[in-house]
Amino acid sequence: MSSFKDWISAARLRTLPLSVSGIILAGCFAEYNGFFNWLVFLLAIFTTLSLQVLSNFANDYGDGVKGTDNNQRVGPERAIQSGKISPESMYNAIKVNILVTIALAFFLILAAFGVTHFWYALIFFVLGALSIYASIKYTIGDNAYGYRGLGDLYVFVFFGLVSVVGGYFLFARQVDHVVILPAISIGLLSVSVLNLNNLRDIESDLKSDKMTLAVKLGFQKAKKYHYFLVLSAMLLTLIFAVLYYTNPFNFIFLVVFVPLFMHLNRVKAVVNPADLDPELKKVALSTFFLAVILGVGYLL
């Protein structure tokens, strides 16, 4: 029988900070422009966390039943792969998680738009449904898009554009140009985390016919793609700070560039894909802290 510890491990807590980065940044800019609402913020955080756990459970299930997660996999052992959680139990947990996510999304949309902004609410119900669908279909099913090299696009759209621009809209009920560049930056860095994960697993994914973008590009080209993602995100963040300068605190995010440059230097030196595993946590946490510090820099 699965223990509570097994389920916590399956939820992959180390992925959660990255998932809320965009919401935190959106909340900071909403506060700066006078639109912040604590109830909306907390519900957005909980809804995002629920979606991320749903995605993690679904990925565990999809890769587990397909046999992609096997003894050749480099990363942390998955729940179904290890036998600690059965496919049936994971499938039932996914169904419960969907219901929890729907409930949280409903209360979030109600808190954000009430009953007077019907069309806004409808749009976000559709976005919520698409988010749930995308979380599930990444690895589950015969046409899982994660097996066709489309995961990067999903992450950029949902972790970047939807999270930051959509998150800001929940507060302000309008789109503001101030969030566009940060949304792209967070999206690019989020994609870099996925690409790094795929780089790490490139050999086992190839053998399992999981055609991620990293597999399609090959190890060396996927590394160059990784440099592009991280450096573009850093450049766009710097351009944003210059264009929207208000005080010197706007540039305190530059401290996060140090671990990112160190990370890129490490990736450049890596020959064995398995050696990239420790770098995942570094980029995910750097993205989280970049979002927090960038946002706070405009509130000081």
In a domain, 117, yes or no: yes
In a domain, 6, yes or no: no
CA dist 227 and 267 (Å) reads 9
Q: 191: domain range?
A: 14-297
Q: What is the tally of structural domains in the chain?
A: 1
What pLDDT was estimated at residue 72?
A: 65
In a domain, 165, yes or no: yes
pTM equals 0.95
What pLDDT was estimated at residue 98?
A: 97
Distance from the first to the final alpha carbon of the chain: 50
CA-wise closest residue to 229 among 188, 263, 197, 196: 188
In a domain, 9, yes or no: no
List the pLDDT tens digit at each of the 300 positions of the chain.
Answer: 678 898 999 999 989 999 999 999 999 999 999 999 999 999 999 999 999 999 999 999 988 888 777 666 666 778 898 889 999 999 999 999 999 999 999 999 999 999 999 999 999 999 999 999 999 999 998 889 999 999 999 999 999 999 999 999 999 999 999 999 999 999 999 999 999 999 999 998 998 889 999 999 999 999 999 999 999 999 999 999 999 999 999 999 999 999 999 999 999 999 999 999 999 999 999 999 999 999 999 999
Q: Is 196 helix (H, G, I), strand (E, B) or coil?
A: helix
What pLDDT was estimated at residue 68?
A: 77
Token reading at 20:
């809320």
In a domain, 3, yes or no: no
User: Secondary structure of 225-256 in the HEC alphabet?
Assistant: HHHHHHHHHHHHHHHHHHHCCCCHHHHHHHHH
State the greatest distance between any 2 C-alpha atoms of the chain, in Å, as a whole number: 57
In a domain, 24, yes or no: yes
- Spatial contact of 158 and 190, defined as CB atoms under 8 Å apart: no
CA-wise closest residue to 237 among 253, 215, 222, 221: 253
In a domain, 4, yes or no: no
In a domain, 8, yes or no: no
Token reading at 220:
């060396």
DSSP code for 76: S
